């Protein structure tokens, strides 16, 4: 299916506002346009409606082809037409529109006219029109003036952890272009498989693109071995140069730029097993980080990037830069020699040396460097753009230093996390990112000045695919959340309204399904964990809490500090929601609550969560005790719990029930053999 099907009768509804001529608009367009002024009446398309595209040749041909594949059956003409026509016209200037991607769509009973100052603007006007046509082929009379909030509106697909073929990627381009995204970032290389043909280094695709086990999880947990292409049970794949050319051209037809990501200096186990001489130890299967002391590393990276630049016209080349272990650099003779020679004081500066040098290379070839926010460590390369993923701090820092930033913070933009109650979903990496939370994101951090805010280039959703083995599953993780991201990236904050968006998203989900996509079943969304929607009340609320020796909470998971476990705020589906308090130091939690006076107590309990991927486990022992002097405690209950690893996110309440009278309550929990984090959200006392 090339284009999205427009579903009968669901794309437009009009409410009359009193008996005046104007109608209250309730257009079901995603992302919501900047300005909509609807009048009474409609233009009806029929089988004699003309299509006249009046634009420079390349855009004209692109847009005519696009329209020929759309559900609107128009008759193309090169002649100027007025009546019964859809006119798509590039103009030099457009009042009220400053972005080249903006457009004005005017509908009269006689015709539809889309005007913009660029092909992209015309394309976005077309997307709005396609979403406005109803089942009777009618479009409401009126004017839409629209332009994006951000110039960069992206989605990243991870095709390394699981390989997704060219047709599948093209299918996603169809859909995301329909929602006015304009960047496709391809995470082409990582430990789980190299995915792009490079003539100079054939082992990257003969070997590093293939592995044992079809799922990342089996591969990761069972030795992480690569295989030869064609070997029995080899899993993997790669895009040939021809595939990439086709992909880039297809994206261009949809006004989408494809940005390739080639990971360096880390996440490169597959390269360093195929070409071990590029690692510090020269041993296959041992290293994730390139040796930065070795000139051969630069020769390799520059050769690869040269072939990559030949294929991708994108102004940006993404060089990864994230999560380097940096350990081997500390003992590697060549790395140490490089540090000495270049006056680099630590391994962060060594990493920065590589990023700077690669930037010089890319700039010399007319390209710009884009990297994950770790490229800030050791000093940012002079012209680099930062993709802020570990929260927003990296983006803020980059912008304050005068660099552009693209915001992709995990909390709002990582679509690999659960979008609904985990036990209703296939296994994910963890987290909880429902549609409403994506929608709530504002990519401009409050701490920025108006001038700094201009350097926020845009926003992107990231689909890392460790736990996403199939195309259907990947689509379920993308849709409908990408619709929310599209509206975050395009629409003016004053135009956003979640209730209204939700209604439009429900319709869009049906449209996507009818077009052969596999979106999440939004209409049956369960929502956050019961109790997490509003504060609860119990006897210990607001009481003083002290933490035992060696049992402090981990500062990164404080849930608000010492009062968190008696604040009435219940945790949601993820320990990352700032409502769960985490304990990792000395593997235990030891909390005492002072009830202030001797109190009758009948229940003391706390929920814990387990999600094994990130090493969050249930306690293997819980002790609940009470005291009147805060020194001598009487044990009320000791709970032994066998911790069993599983693939789920689970919640268990460890509680005592009975009759007691005491001033102090002590709740202790200890980790079992797997260590990791303990997470609890509230000690409930009744
Ligand atoms: C990342 O998620 N490591 C960029």
Q: Is residue 532 part of a domain?
A: no
Three-class SS of residue 356?
A: helix
Taking the centre of ligand 1 as the mean of its atom positions, its distance from the CA of residue 239, in whole angstroms, is: 22
Which of 193-202, 331-340, 497-506, 544-553 bottoms out in mean pLDDT, i.e. has the lowest? 544-553
Domain count, the chain: 3
Q: Is residue 535 part of a domain?
A: no
Q: Is residue 3 part of a domain?
A: no
Which residues line the pocket of ligand 1, CB cutoff 6 A?
A: 322-323, 372, 389, 464
* Backbone φ and ψ of 411, nearest 5°: -60, -30
515 and 564 inside one domain: no
Where is the domain boundary, 88, 113, 146?
A: 146
Q: In this predicted model, what pLDDT tens digit does every residue of 66-109 receive, in sequence order?
A: 999 999 989 999 999 999 999 999 999 999 999 999 999 999 99
Q: Is residue 536 part of a domain?
A: no
Cα(342)–Cα(349) distance, rounded to whole angstroms? 10
Quote the pTM value: 0.94
Residue 178 · residue 123 · CB < 8 Å:
no
679 and 589 inside one domain: yes
pLDDT at 646 over 70: yes
Q: Is residue 379 part of a domain?
A: yes
Strand partners, 456: 405
Atom 2 (ligand 1): residue with closest C-alpha? 389
- Tokens 């956003």, residue located: 496
At residue 26, the pLDDT reads: 65
Which atom of ligand 1 is nearest the CA belonging to 323?
Answer: 3
- pLDDT above 70 covers a percentage of the chain that reads 96
At residue 10, the pLDDT reads: 33
Cα(596)–Cα(543) distance, rounded to whole angstroms? 7
140 and 164 inside one domain: no
Give the count of beta carbons closer than 10 Å to the beta carbon of residue 387: 33
pLDDT at 20 over 80: no
382 and 266 inside one domain: yes
130 and 166 inside one domain: no
CATH of the domain at 269: 3.20.20.80
Where is the domain boundary, 464, 495, 524?
A: 524
At residue 550, the pLDDT reads: 84
- pLDDT above 90 covers a percentage of the chain that reads 94
Three-class SS of residue 293?
A: coil
pLDDT at 479 over 70: yes
pLDDT at 1 over 50: no
508 and 555 inside one domain: no
Which residue out of 162, 254, 267, 356 is catalytically annotated?
Answer: 267
pLDDT band at 15 (very low <50, low <70, confident <90, very high): very low
Cα(538)–Cα(515) distance, rounded to whole angstroms? 50
At residue 6, the pLDDT reads: 52
pLDDT band at 8 (very low <50, low <70, confident <90, very high): very low
At residue 160, the pLDDT reads: 98
CATH of the domain at 53: 3.30.379.10
Which atom of ligand 1 is nearest the CA belonging to 387?
Answer: 4
pLDDT at 29 over 60: yes
72 and 180 inside one domain: no
Q: Is residue 582 part of a domain?
A: yes
440 and 494 inside one domain: yes
Q: Is 92 annotated in the active site?
A: no
Cα(359)–Cα(356) distance, rounded to whole angstroms? 5
389 and 243 inside one domain: yes
Q: Is 416 annotated in the active site?
A: no
pLDDT band at 25 (very low <50, low <70, confident <90, very high): low
Q: Is residue 584 part of a domain?
A: yes
Q: What is the CA radius of gyration of the chain?
A: 28
Record the tokens describing residue 203, joined without a space: 């082992």
Three-class SS of residue 470?
A: coil
The b/e string for 116-155 (b: 16+ C-beta within 10 A; e otherwise) is bbbbbbbbbbbbbbbbbbbeebbbbbbbbbbbbbbebbbb
Taking the centre of ligand 1 as the mean of its atom positions, its distance from the CA of residue 288, in whole angstroms, is: 14
Cα(157)–Cα(403) distance, rounded to whole angstroms? 25
At residue 250, the pLDDT reads: 98
Q: In this predicted model, what pLDDT tens digit does every residue of 563-598 receive, in sequence order?
A: 999 999 999 999 999 999 999 977 799 999 999 999
* Ligand 1 pocket test target in 161, 259, 319, 323 with most atoms within 8 Å of CB: 323
266 and 401 inside one domain: yes
CATH of the domain at 646: 2.60.120.260
Kindly state the average pLDDT of the residues 452-467: 98
Cα(472)–Cα(648) distance, rounded to whole angstroms? 20
Where is the domain boundary, 474, 495, 524?
A: 524
Interaxial angle between packed helices 347-364 and 295-311, expressed in degrees from 0 to 180 and rounded to the nearest 10: 40
Kindly state the average pLDDT of the residues 375-382: 93
Taking the centre of ligand 1 as the mean of its atom positions, its distance from the CA of residue 372, in whole angstroms, is: 7
| 73 burial via Cβ count (<10 Å: 0-12, 13-18, 19+) | middle
Q: Is 323 annotated in the active site?
A: yes
Taking the centre of ligand 1 as the mean of its atom positions, its distance from the CA of residue 152, in whole angstroms, is: 19
Which residue out of 59, 146, 190, 466 is catalytically annotated?
Answer: 190
Quote the Cα angle for 55-122-248, to 5°: 90
Which residue out of 174, 229, 323, 346 is catalytically annotated?
Answer: 323
142 and 162 inside one domain: no
Which atom of ligand 1 is nearest the CA belonging to 408?
Answer: 4
Instruction: Please count the CA atoms within 13 angstroms of the CA of 341 that sit on its side-chain side.
Output: 10
pLDDT at 13 over 80: no
Q: Which residue, 548, 551, 544, 570, is CA-closest to 684? A: 570
Residue 300 · residue 312 · CB < 8 Å:
no
At residue 613, the pLDDT reads: 87
Give the count of beta carbons closer than 10 Å to the beta carbon of residue 472: 11
Domain that holds residue 639: 544-685
> Dihedral sign, CA of 227, 218, 164, 375?
negative
Three-class SS of residue 418?
A: strand
Mean of per-residue pLDDT scores for the chain: 95
Q: Is residue 6 part of a domain?
A: no
Which atom of ligand 1 is nearest the CA belonging to 462?
Answer: 2
pLDDT at 9 over 80: no
What H or E segment, with its residue span, contains residue 37?
strand 35-44
Q: In this predicted model, what pLDDT tens digit does every residue of 204-224 receive, in sequence order?
A: 999 999 999 999 999 999 999
Taking the centre of ligand 1 as the mean of its atom positions, its distance from the CA of residue 322, in whole angstroms, is: 6
pLDDT band at 549 (very low <50, low <70, confident <90, very high): confident
pLDDT at 61 over 60: yes
Q: In this predicted model, what pLDDT tens digit does every residue of 263-286 receive, in sequence order?
A: 999 999 999 999 999 999 999 999
Interaxial angle between packed helices 295-311 and 241-253, expressed in degrees from 0 to 180 and rounded to the nearest 10: 50
Q: Which residue, 244, 172, 222, is CA-closest to 486? A: 172
Q: In this predicted model, what pLDDT tens digit does every residue of 143-177 receive, in sequence order?
A: 999 999 999 999 999 999 999 999 999 999 999 99
Residue 665 · residue 630 · CB < 8 Å:
no
pLDDT at 451 over 70: yes
- Tokens 């449209």, residue located: 511
67 and 167 inside one domain: no
At residue 533, the pLDDT reads: 87
């Amino acid at each position: 299916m090339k284009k999205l099907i427009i579903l009968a009768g669901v794309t437009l509804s009009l409410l009359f506002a009193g008996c005046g001529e104007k109608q209250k608009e309730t257009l079901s367009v995603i992302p919501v346009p900047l300005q909509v002024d609807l009048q009474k009446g409609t233009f009806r398309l029929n089988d004699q409606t003309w299509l006249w595209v009046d634009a420079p040749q390349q855009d004209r041909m692109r847009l005519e082809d696009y329209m020929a594949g759309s559900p609107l059956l128009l008759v193309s003409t090169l002649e100027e037409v007025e009546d019964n026509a859809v006119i798509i016209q590039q103009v030099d200037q457009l009042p009220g529109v400053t972005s080249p991607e903006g457009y004005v769509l005017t509908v009269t009973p006689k015709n539809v006219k889309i005007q913009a100052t660029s092909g992209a603007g015309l394309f976005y006007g077309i997307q709005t029109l396609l979403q406005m046509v109803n089942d009777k082929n009618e479009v409401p009379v009126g004017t839409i003036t629209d332009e994006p909030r951000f110039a960069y509106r992206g989605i990243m697909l991870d095709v390394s952890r699981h390989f997704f073929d060219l047709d599948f990627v093209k299918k996603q381009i169809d859909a995301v272009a329909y929602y006015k995204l304009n960047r496709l970032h391809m995470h082409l290389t990582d430990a789980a498989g190299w995915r792009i043909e490079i003539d100079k280094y054939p082992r990257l695709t003969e070997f590093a693109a293939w592995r044992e086990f079809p799922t990342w999880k089996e591969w990761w947990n069972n030795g992480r071995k690569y295989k030869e292409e064609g070997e029995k049970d080899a899993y993997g794949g790669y895009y040939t140069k021809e595939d990439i050319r086709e992909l880039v051209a297809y994206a261009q037809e949809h006004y989408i730029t494809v940005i390739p990501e080639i990971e360096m200096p880390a996440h490169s186990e597959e390269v360093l097993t195929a070409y071990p001489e590029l690692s510090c130890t020269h041993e296959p299967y041992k290293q994730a980080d390139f040796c930065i002391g070795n000139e051969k590393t630069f020769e390799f990276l520059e050769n690869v990037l040269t072939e990559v630049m030949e294929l991708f016209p994108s102004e940006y080349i993404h060089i990864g830069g994230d999560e380097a272990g940096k350990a081997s650099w500390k003992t590697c003779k060549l790395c140490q020699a490089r540090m000495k020679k270049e006056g680099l004081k630590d391994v962060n500066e060594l990493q920065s040396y590589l990023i700077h040098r690669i930037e010089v290379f890319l700039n010399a070839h007319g390209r710009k460097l884009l990297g994950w926010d770790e490229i800030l460590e050791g000093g940012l390369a002079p012209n680099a753009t930062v993709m802020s993923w570990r929260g927003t701090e990296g983006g803020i820092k980059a912008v304050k230093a005068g660099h552009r930033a693209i915001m992709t913070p995990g909390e709002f933009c990582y679509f690999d996390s659960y979008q609904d109650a985990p036990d209703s979903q296939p296994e994910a990496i963890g987290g909880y990112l429902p549609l409403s939370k994506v929608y709530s994101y504002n990519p401009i951090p409050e701490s920025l000045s108006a001038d700094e805010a201009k350097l926020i280039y845009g926003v992107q959703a990231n689909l890392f695919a460790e736990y996403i083995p199939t195309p259907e599953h990947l689509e379920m993780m993308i849709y409908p959340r990408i619709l929310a991201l599209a509206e975050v990236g395009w629409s003016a904050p004053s135009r956003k309204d979640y209730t209204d968006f939700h209604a439009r998203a429900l319709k869009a989900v049906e449209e996507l399904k009818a077009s052969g996509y596999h979106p999440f079943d939004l209409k049956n969304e369960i929502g956050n964990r019961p109790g997490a929607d509003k504060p609860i009340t119990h006897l210990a609320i607001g009481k003083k809490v002290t933490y035992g020796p060696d049992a402090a909470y981990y500062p990164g998971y404080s849930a608000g500090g010492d009062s968190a476990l008696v604040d009435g705020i219940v945790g949601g589906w993820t320990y990352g929601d700032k409502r769960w308090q985490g304990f990792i130091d000395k593997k235990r939690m030891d909390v005492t609550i002072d009830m202030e006076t001797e109190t009758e107590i009948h229940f003391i309990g706390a929920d814990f969560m387990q999600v094994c991927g990130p090493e969050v486990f249930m306690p293997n022992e819980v002790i609940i005790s009470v005291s009147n002097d805060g020194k001598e405690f009487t044990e009320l209950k000791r709970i032994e719990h066998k911790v069993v690893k599983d693939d789920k996110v689970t919640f268990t309440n460890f509680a005592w029930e009975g009759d007691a009278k005491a001033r102090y309550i002590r709740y202790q929990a200890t980790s079992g053999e797997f260590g990791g984090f303990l997470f609890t959200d509230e000690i409930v006392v009744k």
